[in-house]
Structures are given as C-alpha cells and as structure tokens.
Amino acid sequence: MRVLSGIKPTGKLTLGNYIGALKNFSQYQSDHDVFIFIADLHALTLPIDPEELRMNTRLLTAFYLAAGLDPNRVTIFKQSDVSAHAELNAILQNYLYMGELSRMTQFKEKSQNMDGNAIGLGLFTYPVLMASDILLYEANIVPVGEDQIQHIEITRDLVVRFNNRYGKILVMPEPIVSTVGKRIMSLSDPSIKMSKSESGKGDIYLTDDLTVIRKKIMSAVTDSGSEIYVDEEKKPGITNLLTIYAALTDKSLDDCVKKFKDYRYGDFKKEVANVVINTLGPFQEKAYEFLKSGEVDRVLRDGAQKATIIANQTLKKVKEAVGLL
Ligand code: TYM
C-alpha cells in the first residue's frame, strides 16, 4: 500500500499542521511505501518571497525528520525536483472543469478579498496539481487534515472520469483524517481554523518560543460556565483545548474529559500547555539539529532520485493512454 502526503512551505507551520498532518505520517513507515513531499510549486500560488520559500523548504524537511520520518524507509522530496508533477499537471488540467474548480472552498476563501482580475491561474487550478501529486505515486492512502478532503474528492472524480475514457490507468486514492484533531481551531477565535496565514495570537507556530506557547495557551479564550466537556457549539474553546490534549497524548476525548472533570479552567490550561511544550520542545531541538547537520540537503537529493523513478512510470502510462506516446 502506498501512502502520500505533502505540506506547503508557506508562512509558519502551526500546531494544526502538526496534529492534523505531520505527526501522523511516521506511523505508516514500517508497513507502507510512504512518499512525503514539500509542495513548493503550490507555495507559489500566493505571493511569497524567494528567500522565505528557500528557508521554509529546508525547515519543513527538518520538521519531517524531527517528526520521526526515517529517510531510509520514506521517500522525502521536493515537488519541484520531480518534473513529472508539472507534466502530469499539464495533461490532467484538461480533465477537470472550471465549474468544479470554482466551487472549491479553499479557492473561494483565498480569493475572496482579491481583485477578481488579478487572481493567479495557479490558485484556481491548485487541485489539478494536487491531483497530479497524488496520482503520480499511485497512492492508496492520503493522510490530511479536514480542509484538504475536498481536494481529494475532486481527485477521485478525476480518476473516475479519466479511467472511464482510457481504461484502468489511475489508482483511486482514499483520504484519511485522524478521528481526533482533524481541525484544530484558533485559540483566540475557536470558530476559525488555526492557520499559517492568520494574525498570530491564536495560532501556535512550531517555531514559537516555549514561553510564548505557554502564554498563548494560558490566554486562549474559554467559554462561559466552568465545566470541562466536549461540545463544539456551546464549548468551542474548551473542546479545542481538549482536542489538542487528546491528540498529543494519544488519548480518547472521553478519557480526557474524565481526567479534567473537576479541574478549573486555569489548571486545565496549564496541563494543556505542559503537554504542548513537552511535545514541541524536543521536536524543535531535533529539527534545528537536522538543519545544522547537512542531513536536509542529502535527504532531498536522494528523495528526488527515488521519487522521479516512480513518478515517471505513471507519467509514461498516462502519456501512452492519451496518445502522447
Ligand atoms: P497545507 O500546507 O495547508 O497543510 C498541511 C496539512 O495540515 C493540515 N492542516 C490542519 N489540520 C488540522 N487542523 C488545522 N487547523 C490544520 N491546518 C492545516 C492540512 O489539512 C494538511 O493536511 N494542499 C496541501 C498540500 C498538498 C497535498 C498534496 C497534500 C499539495 N499536494 C497532495 C496531500 C496530497 C496544503 O496546502 O496543505
């Protein structure tokens, strides 16, 4: 079974990215064929400083390693190093339609405040490149956070459409989201997702100082009342903190509710802060070590070679199917 996932090297990665994606990748490496990449072509869909893109790419590779991905068992690579992504994108863009692309939530969100005449085509066709990423590696499983499911659904539609026309060429992928932590919310406004592109005070960044992390959690908005239980409507702030705690300790939400039943909000937040800090402290140390060691560049070089071999096999099949070969 093949597993594939990727993260965009834009902005500052958050605890949401860690819980929803990053921390889940290594569990597959002992018994699956795993491809994890840096979606740097996708990073260009919104303006980004070239130096920031270079730095984010190396840092994200270090994060992959710090999250326990073993480069001897997992292929870690940069999307732009494997030219088959761009080539398959050029072919597959003819099999997804403007109507369905304009209904994508991510496109609507990201473009809503932009001048309609100046929205980059890449932002609009984002799901075509994402479908190419997934299909090139014939991935069966794609672990992601909830906000990416729609993009995998459209990839599935594309597979049906393409295979109906050309025969069984593309492999059908399946999104996997974790039961706890598929959507981590902002600490300052639990009605919106924790995000790389938000203001910062409600978002825990993976590069934040541990003292800053503690402060952000201690000042997280809580809800009226004093009880600690799960209710996304009435208790969105507390539910979010419980989710973070449960995801990082690998406990069920029910067990966490039982544990904190008699806690006051302040003491509960202290425990959540401790767990986040005990996770991210060692994680940051490892990541910075990898950055310094030169391991990052080596991993990306080897990964690109391995990924290219697999990607080119699929590209060849597709080219033959449509009549380019
Ligand atoms: P990106 O970089 O926006 O996010 C990376 C991963 O983090 C998850 N995530 C969250 N999970 C829980 N709570 C949150 N608040 C939260 N915020 C983000 C995302 O769901 C994602 O899994 N399009 C992708 C990158 C990509 C990709 C792919 C992924 C490109 N090609 C092919 C899978 C397969 C993206 O922008 O993720």
First-to-final CA distance of the chain: 28
Q: Give the rounded percent of residues in the chain with a pLDDT score beyond 90.
A: 95
As its CATH architecture, domain 210-287 has Orthogonal Bundle (1.10)
Look at the pTM and tell me if it is higher than 0.95.
yes
Which pLDDT value is given to residue 209?
97
Q: Specify whether the CB–CB gap between 173 and 135 falls below 8 A.
A: yes
Closest residue (by CA) to atom 37 of ligand 1? Answer: 7
Looking at the chain, which residues constitute the CATH 1.10.240.10 domain(s)? 210-287
Secondary structure in 3-state letters for 113-141: CCCHHHCCHHHHCHHHHHHHHHHHCCCCE
Which pLDDT value is given to residue 116?
86
Residue 197 has pLDDT above 90, yes or no: no
Q: Specify whether the CB–CB gap between 79 and 303 falls below 8 A.
A: no
Lowest-confidence region among 152-156, 293-297, 300-304: 293-297
Fold of 2-181+294-322: Rossmann fold (3.40.50)
Query: Is 49 exposed, middle or buried, given 0-12, 13-18 or 19+ CB atoms closer than 10 A?
Result: exposed
Residue of 74, 6, 16 lying closest to 41 (CA atoms): 6
Residue 202 has pLDDT above 90, yes or no: yes
Looking at the chain, which residues constitute the CATH 3.40.50.620 domain(s)? 2-181+294-322
Pocket residues for ligand 1 (CB within 6 Å)?
4-8, 16-17, 19-21, 39, 42, 130, 133-134, 142, 144-145, 147-148, 182-184, 193-194
- Active-site residue 196, yes or no? yes
Distances, alpha carbon 60 to alpha carbons 50, 69, 268, in Å? 15, 12, 31
Q: Residue 75: beta bridge partners?
A: 35
DSSP secondary structure letter of residue 40: H
Closest residue (by CA) to atom 27 of ligand 1? Answer: 6
Residue 196 has pLDDT above 90, yes or no: no
pLDDT digits (tens, 9 = 90+) for 245-280: 999 999 999 999 999 999 999 999 999 999 999 999
- Active-site residue 110, yes or no? yes
Ligand 1 center–CA 284 separation, angstroms? 20
pLDDT digits (tens, 9 = 90+) for 124-156: 999 999 999 999 999 999 999 999 999 999 999
Pick from 36, 148, 154 the residue to mutate for probing ligand 1's pocket: most ligand atoms within 8 Å of its CB: 148
Closest residue (by CA) to atom 31 of ligand 1? Answer: 130
Q: Span 208-230, mean pLDDT?
A: 95
- Catalytic residue, from 23, 78, 182, 193: name it: 193
